[in-house]
Amino acid sequence: MAAPRPLPRLDAVNRAFWTGGESGELRILRCADCERFVHPPRPVCRWCLSERVRPVTVAGTGVVDTFTVNHQKWHPEAEVPYVIARVALDGVPGVWLTTNIVGCPAEEVDVGDRVRVRFERHDDVWLPLFEKCG
């Protein structure tokens, strides 16, 4: 169980990202004009200012780029320690997700680990967390 946290407020722009887990899909916005990925979600492409940004389903796998282990009990229901990581997504150049690595002890996480997405539902939000492959 990951640490409880404030949930995002859904809107037309970020809904695809936060609810893709309902279909088991990790969705990242991509610009239909310059084809670059846009994350965090925003209504206008950060690169070419196009408004033609659309969610696309990506592989949902990646590599731990960097991480830290949190030992502070910020929330009364938080289980510590837990891992906060930055994951470089496969096939999504220029996007790094800040997330949690779950499903294994914190001391087993390392830079370069292959990970895959695992969604955790809270109300109408599916948080994209990651677990080690294999």
* CB of 7 vs Zn ion, minimal distance in Å: 29
- When the beta carbons of 32 and 59 are compared against Zn ion, the nearer one is 32
In the shown chain, the binding pattern of residues 12 to 51 toward Zn ion, with x for contact by CB under 5 A and - for none, equals -------------------x-xx----------x-xx-x-
Three-class SS of residue 113? coil
Query: Taking CB under 5 A as the rule, does residue 106 contact Zn ion?
Result: no
Contacts of 120 (CB under 8 A, 6+ apart): 2, 21, 102, 126, 127, 129
- When the beta carbons of 34 and 88 are compared against Zn ion, the nearer one is 34
* CB of 45 vs Zn ion, minimal distance in Å: 3
**DSSP assignment of 57-85:** EE--EEEEEEEEEE----STT--SSEEEE
Integer Rg of the chain from CA: 15
- When the beta carbons of 7 and 48 are compared against Zn ion, the nearer one is 48
Q: What angle do CA 46, 111, 72 make, to 5 degrees?
A: 85
The residues that touch Zn ion, with contacts defined as CB under 5 A, are: 31, 33-34, 45, 47-48, 50
